[in-house]
């Protein structure tokens, strides 16, 4: 995760590869001074221009390698730009007929795609990764429109997605089995075979990431894919379909159906879906697992978190403060792996808090399209209400707000739900805000005395997605990492996602992994073949 400069003058080159698609001029260099009314106006125009672009207004299902509308509409949902809260369009939800069609296209695609060599499949993915990099600016601009997150974050996300697609493109040729020598010259060999049609369902905080983290390992292994994005963020998964098509992915191998809960249920329970890969909340994950159990379908679940971030007294204080901010304030705090329970050793609480508050107050809340914005808009009014309820409840239960936690009006044109990053002190382990996932920029600070105590308290959660440890004592770092009950741990950093490193949760935070080589195991099944080299022996 690149660190970002939080202030001052910036020079940016906006070199949009697809400027014409947005109806804007080509290769525009903007010398940006902050605050600058011209730039503000420019960015509003940009948002308006993108919102009326073909990416938004075109059909948002993707079947047979092209965009289409559903043949039967089981309802509409609003697509809103979170920063303005303006409705950009209504999107039709797909029903049974279109879900059936998407799965049937994917089954058809599977016949030929699964027969290609890993090398051939990998080449398609590697080409797709390059196209994503060429279209990075367009994808990032559209991701901002979907999510309301700052543009610099969206660019990092797209870059990371391209890397993931590239990575699985590279691994595809290496998917193989084992040769197992047995007695008397006999042997067995194993083959890793694809599962069939994989269904994917995503949440709204990292829409392109969810589509690419699920589809690229699935496709690398020879499966085909049907994805339902979150109804709040339907845009970039469809663009990924166009990227795959341009890269040479055969029609039917990657399909998108848009919709809400009903569409998700239809996909999950479809008899020809071999596996569901889901990212979202724990209650929905549990329902999906239950539905899959009926047909013994494979599942990958990436669910919620309430992760600890432990700051020991021997840490590098500045790094620890930066780490705690990265652990809480990216994407308006709507990050599953966030370390929202920040345990600070009592002896350094004063200097830690002083630096943290000072730097948090300097974060720039504003227009997501501005280069220096570090806090964008909350995804929706509903999520804003949830976040504010947690802050109010925290106060009632005895926590103290030391900064943030308020709705901010950044510009009269931006009527979305902007919230200043919130730091809570006087928190205790039993408080609701400390126990439950908020999914907003709300950091709870807790103090501790000893390593043993903090490990016990950190593990006292039903969830186990991630965790951070800040210390300069290497033995302690390894010791605590080994004791923490979580799938993704960071020592002296937080929320970094190198593509080759598996990501996923312990306990109720999920099953299976995304990223890294281990993920291939979750998109394949092992066939073992015994080969007899002698005569068949039997007692009859
Ligand atoms: N562990 C991880 O990698 C991540 C986890 N999350 C989690 O996601 C949650 C926030 O995302 P939301 O979209 O609000 O979650 P959600 O669980 O409400 O919805 C997720 C998706 O499931 C669909 N859905 C809802 N009910 C369904 C059902 N019964 N059957 C099939 N599909 C159904 C929704 O339409 C949406 O596309 C947070 O709890 C967060 O922790 C979010 C991002 C990453």
Roughly how many angstroms between the first and final C-alpha of the chain, as a whole number?
Answer: 66
Q: What is the rounded distance in angstroms from the CA atom of residue 292 to the CA atom of residue 275? A: 8
Contacts of 531 (CB under 8 A, 6+ apart): 186, 187, 188, 189
Q: What is the ipTM of this complex?
A: 0.93
The catalytic site residues sit at: 302
**Is residue 270 within 8 Å of residue 124, measured between CB atoms?**
no
Provide the pLDDT for residue 13.
28
If one looks up domain 35-303 in CATH, what number appears?
Answer: 3.40.605.10
Provide the pLDDT for residue 496.
95
Report the separation in Å between the CA atom of 371 and the middle of ligand 1, taken as the mean of its atom positions: 29
Report the separation in Å between the CA atom of 25 and the middle of ligand 1, taken as the mean of its atom positions: 38
Count CA atoms within 13 Å of residue 142 on its CB side.
28
The model's pTM is 0.91
Residues of the chain with pLDDT under 70: 1-53
**Ligand 1 atom with minimal separation from the 282 CA:** 39
Domain coordinates of the chain in residue numbers? 35-303, 308-508
Ligand 1 site, residue 201, Cβ cutoff 6 A: yes
Site to probe by mutation for ligand 1, drawn from 235, 284, 463 as the one with most ligand atoms within 8 Å of Cβ, is 284
Provide the pLDDT for residue 5.
34
Ligand 1 site, residue 280, Cβ cutoff 6 A: yes
pLDDT tens digits, one per residue of 66-75 = 999 999 999 9
**Is residue 216 within 8 Å of residue 125, measured between CB atoms?**
yes
**Is residue 47 within 8 Å of residue 369, measured between CB atoms?**
yes
Q: Hey, whose CA ends up nearest to atom 13 of ligand 1?
A: 203
Ligand 1 site, residue 277, Cβ cutoff 6 A: no
Provide the pLDDT for residue 27.
30
**Ligand 1 atom with minimal separation from the 206 CA:** 43
CB atoms within 10 A of CB 181: 8
CATH class for the region spanning 308-508: alpha beta
Provide the pLDDT for residue 48.
62
Which token pair is 58? 């075109």
Ligand 1 site, residue 249, Cβ cutoff 6 A: no
């Amino acid at each position: 995760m690149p660190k970002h400069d939080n202030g001052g003058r910036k020079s940016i080159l906006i070199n949009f590869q697809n400027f014409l698609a947005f109806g804007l001029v080509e290769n525009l260099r903007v010398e940006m001074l902050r605050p600058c009314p011209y730039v503000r106006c420019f960015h509003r125009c940009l948002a308006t221009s993108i919102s009326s672009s073909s990416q938004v207004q075109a059909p948002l299902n993707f079947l047979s390698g092209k965009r289409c509308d559903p043949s039967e509409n089981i309802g509409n949902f609003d697509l809103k730009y979170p920063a303005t809260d303006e409705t950009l369009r209504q999107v039709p939800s797909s029903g049974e007929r279109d879900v059936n069609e998407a799965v049937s296209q994917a089954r058809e695609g599977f016949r030929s795609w699964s027969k290609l060599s890993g090398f051939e499949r990998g080449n398609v993915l590697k080409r797709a990764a390059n196209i994503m990099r060429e279209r990075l600016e367009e994808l990032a601009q559209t991701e901002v429109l979907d999510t309301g997150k700052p543009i610099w974050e969206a660019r990092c996300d797209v870059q990371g997605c391209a890397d993931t697609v590239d990575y699985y493109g590279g691994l595809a040729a290496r998917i193989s089995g084992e040769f197992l020598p047995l007695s008397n010259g006999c042997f067995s060999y194993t083959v890793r075979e694809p599962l069939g049609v994989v269904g994917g369902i995503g949440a709204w905080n990292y829409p392109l990431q969810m589509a690419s983290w699920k589809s690229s390992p699935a496709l690398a292994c020879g499966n085909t894919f049907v994805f339902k994005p979150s109804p709040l963020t339907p845009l970039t998964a469809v663009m990924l379909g166009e990227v795959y098509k341009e890269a040479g992915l055969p029609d039917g191998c990657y399909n998108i159906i848009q919709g809400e809960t009903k569409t998700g249920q239809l996909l999950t329970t479809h008899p020809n879906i071999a596996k569901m890969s889901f990212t979202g909340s724990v209650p929905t994950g549990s329902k999906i697992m239950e539905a899959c159990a009926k047909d013994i379908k494979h599942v990958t679940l990436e669910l919620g978190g309430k992760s600890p971030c432990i700051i020991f007294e021997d840490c590098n204080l500045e790094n620890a403060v930066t780490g705690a901010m990265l652990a809480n304030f990216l994407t308006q705090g709507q990050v599953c792996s966030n370390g929202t329970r920040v345990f600070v050793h009592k002896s350094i609480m004063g200097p830690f808090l002083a630096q943290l508050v000072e730097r948090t107050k300097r974060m720039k809340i504003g227009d997501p399209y501005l280069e220096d914005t570090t806090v964008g808009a909350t995804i929706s009014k509903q999520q804003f209400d949830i976040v504010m309820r947690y802050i109010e409840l925290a106060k009632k239960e005895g926590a103290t707000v030391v900064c943030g936690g308020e709705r901010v009006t950044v510009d009269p044109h931006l009527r979305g739900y902007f919230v200043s990053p919130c730091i809570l002190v006087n928190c205790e382990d039993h408080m609701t805000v400390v126990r439950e996932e908020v999914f907003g920029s709300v950091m709870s600070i807790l103090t501790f005395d000893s390593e043993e105590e903090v490990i016990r308290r950190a593990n006292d959660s039903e969830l186990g997605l991630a965790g951070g440890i800040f210390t300069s004592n290497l033995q302690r770092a390894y010791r605590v990492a080994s004791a923490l009950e979580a799938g993704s741990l960071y020592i002296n950093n937080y929320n970094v996602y190198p593509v080759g490193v598996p990501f996923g949760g312990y306990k109720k935070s999920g099953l299976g992994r995304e990223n890294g080589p281990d993920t291939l195991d979750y998109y394949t099944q092992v066939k073992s073949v015994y080969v007899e080299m002698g005569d068949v022996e039997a007692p009859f």
